Structure 1
Amino acid sequence: MATIYDIAAKAGVSAMTVSRVINNTGKISDKTRAKVRRVMEELNYVPNHVARSLVLQQSKLLFLLITDITNPFYTTIARGAEDAAKKHGYRLLFGNSDENVDKEKDYIDAILATRADGVLIAPTGDLSLSNLERLRLHNVPFVLLDREVPGVGSDVVLGDTKEGARKLVEHLKSRGHSAIALINGSPTISSARLRLEGYREALKLNDLPFDDRYVLEMAFEPRSDLSEIENWLDRMTPPPTAIVAGNNVLAVEVIRTLAERGNRVPEHMSVVGFDDLGPYSEIDPFLTVIAQQAYQFGYLGMQMLVERIQERGESPLPWRKVVLPADLIVRRSVADAT
């Protein structure tokens, strides 16, 4: 593997000049800079970023840790985060926790080992507290996405998820529905708690009853076994006429379960949910959703992270919370109640 000394010898310059070209520092003529870069390409030189980070105390690496890369919401977040990182001269690494706090911890270990300059993270939930404290202990800046963690002071980018839940219930009420169920994420996740609050508030404001049997809380993740949803549908008596899903994954799984029972949406059951289904929504617009600004989640979160990195050694700014509004997109998955 070529070194800066090999490049210096072939280009006829000093090793210091090569270092300045690599790090884009110092006053070097365009001619010399071009010659050094040409030799670097000829020798297939790959900079040793670990050694470089030890000298500069900066790796120019950032990490995005999300909970489910197969979810179009998080895929779009990743696009926004990558675009913002590139704009500021950073390379971005990705990790996927699968809503698992232990897997999240493993990624935190990897982040510390690679000496990443900062982390943009959608935490698995309240149990992420110890993982985030490890980042803080090692002075690694981080920004939270989509979810807050009690006891953690940090910048955070959220959606107005409580208002979104209210909009979904009010839309169903406007179509004549009064028996409205909710399938939601774990109560250890802040966004799921807010969606439950919004659902309950909307029921109360619209003089609709709240029934514990109409609420199912489970993980925000894909599953092959739909028996838990099956059992929940069987327990609800009288059955609801509409279901609010806490995210797009749960919405799809409810629709799958209903289909296996011979129930069509919206003819037999109306279904609405949070977050769009990516390109599939454009091919066949079907599901009525609260669409969050996923790209802006990633882009703004990364902007905030870079600002935190750049302020090191200065008086820190107060923690910032950005709450992005969400839009109700009405499609074909809701029918009038009969």
Structure 2
Amino acid sequence: MRDDPDVPETRRGRPTMNDVAAAAGVALKTVSRVVNNEPGVNATTAERVHAAIERLGYRRNDGARTLRRGRTASIGLVIEDVADPFYSGLSRAVEDVALDEGCLVFTGSSGEDASRERELVLAFCARRVDGLIIVPAGTDHDYLTPEIDAGIAAVFADRPPGAGPDADTVVCDNAGGARVGTEHLLAHGHRRIAFLADSPSIFTATERLRGYREALASAGLPYDEELVAMAPPGRARALADLERLFRLADPPTALFTGNGRTTVATLRALAAPITHGPPVAVVGFDDFELADLLGITVVAQDPARLGRVAAELLFRRLAGESGPPQRLELPTRLVVRGSGELPLRG
């Protein structure tokens, strides 16, 4: 039979605290104290209550308990793609922090679609989540203003919010990491370094382009647009980009790839028989599975730390921490494995 919210729990076969009290022969308040681990109940009585709970299969209604406190013990998490290893690592870290806080996490993927992001966020708000962690796909977050004004807490992760209310933000040092990766290739004699990255509309991609350009400028080298390719990652796109780059009169001798998926697509394209070009050095932004076995030098972020810091900041806000919105920037690190150390061949 379908549950009817207007029918008392006892009529639906779910034991209540009153049922436990009757079975144990104690007052309702006594059961409440035992269930909530409060003092004031002697051991013999507590044992009798626990026996009744076990016999009846009673489970505390945490939903009603948190609602009475004005909370739902849940948060919403909006990421780009749950299948992306970077975001799955971030998501798992958020879940771990939420578990310690006695909270559930509702997760949705925006697929880099601003409309989908908005739909997910507002759907979570309609379900009265206590807070939100958002990896933004769009650049206009004015739709969040009424929700934040109503008391919902929000933290943006990996990318800052666009136009709209100020909110806490946790990002990685994208420009600094790309600068270090490019400088590493320069230090090994390369002067024609191509930059392959995600769409220029994405904050992380443009920040990494900025770091690449800063490294070139510091080395006294001009920025050459012919050496730059920015679009959604994929094997076909990587093949086309490499074919174009290797046909240049002065082709690149090194590649800096702007994220994990672009790096993997580029490595597959380099291995394809139709891709003709000289051996090139490769440094990728983002670590990825098997990069250590393949010997790929990377600029590594820590997605788990990113998720953990964002979640901890959110729960501090939910606990009452006040003050202006924070912007936290987490460091990256260069992991040397061989592919970025190939010397320039004369």
TM-score category, normalised to shorter length: 0.7 to 0.9
Partner of residue 330 from structure 1, selected from 317, 320, 336 = 336
Change over 3 Å in CA distance of 1:49–1:103 after alignment to 2: farther
Give the number of aligned pairs. 326
Out of 288, 301, 305, the position equivalent to 1:277 is 288
- Structure 1 match to 2:228: 215
- Specify which of 242, 251, 269 is matched with residue 233 of structure 1: 242
Match of 2:310 among 281, 298, 301: 301
* C-alpha distance after superposition, 1:146-191 (max 9, x if no partner): 1112334111111111110101111111112111111222333222
Judge conservation of contact 2:77–2:134 (CA < 8 Å) in 1: yes
1:243 is aligned to 255
1:239–1:44 Cα change, 3 Å: farther
Distance change (3 Å), C-alpha of 1:39 and 1:248: farther
Contact persistence 1:286–1:332 (CA under 8 A): yes
Rate the CA distance shift 1:294–1:16 in 2: closer, same or farther, 3 A: same
- The residue type equivalent to 1:299 in the other structure is R
Q: Where in structure 2 are the equivalents of 1:118-129 lying within 5 Å?
A: 118-127=131-140, 129=141
Match of 1:54 among 50, 60, 67: 67
* Pair 1:106 & 2:119 matched: yes
* Number of the residue aligned with 2:207: 194
Deviation track 1:39-93 (CA, whole Å, cap 9, x = no partner) reads: 4444444444443343211122223322122332222222322232233333333
Equivalent of residue 163 in structure 1, options 164, 169, 176: 176
Moved more, 114-123 or 141-150: 114-123
Alignment of 1:23-38 (within 5 A): 24=36, 27-29=39-41, 31=43, 35-38=48-51
Residues 67-216 of structure 1 mapped to structure 2, 5 A cutoff:
67-127=80-140, 129-130=141-142, 132-133=144-145, 135-151=147-163, 152-216=165-229
Question: Relative to structure 1, is the Cα distance of residues 337 and 125 closer, same or farther in structure 2, using a 3 angstrom cutoff?
Answer: farther
Q: Distance in 2 between matches of 1:131 and 1:37?
A: 48
Deviation at 1:324, TM superposition (A): 1.3
Deviates more, 1:29-38 or 1:68-77: 29-38
Secondary structure, aligned partner of 1:126: coil
8 A Cα contact 1:143 1:156, kept in partner = yes
Q: Indicate if the aligned counterparts of 1:213 and 1:235 stay in contact, CA closer than 8 A.
A: no
Deviation at 1:99, TM superposition (A): 2.1
Contact 1:157 1:300 in 2 (8 A): yes
Query: What TM-score do you get using the length of structure 1 for normalisation?
Result: 0.85
Aligned to 1:291: 300
- 8 Å CA contact 1:50, 1:114 repeated in 2: no
Correspondence for 2:327: 321
- The one-character-per-residue Cα deviations of 1:227-273 (angstroms, maximum 9, x if unpaired) are 333333333323322221111011101111222245599x7222221
Aligned pairs for 1:11-22 (under 5 A) are 11-19=24-32
- Alpha-carbon spacing, 1:227–1:76, altered in 2? closer, same or farther (3 Å): closer
- Cα distance in 1, alignment partners of residues 93 and 137 from structure 2: 20
Structure 2 gaps of 5+ residues are: 1-13
What percentage of aligned pairs have identical amino acids?
Answer: 34
CA RMSD of aligned residues (A): 2.8
1-side partners of 2:319 and 2:243: how far apart? 55
Report the 3-state secondary structure (helix = DSSP H, G, I; strand = E; otherwise coil) of the residue aligned with 1:176: coil
Q: 2-side partners of 1:205 and 1:165: how far apart?
A: 13
Shift of 1:309: 0.6
1:293-335 Cα shifts (integer Å, max 9, x gaps): 22221121111101111117xxx31111211111100112232
- Which runs of 5 or more residues in structure 1 are unaligned? none
Distance 2:101 2:107 in 1: 17
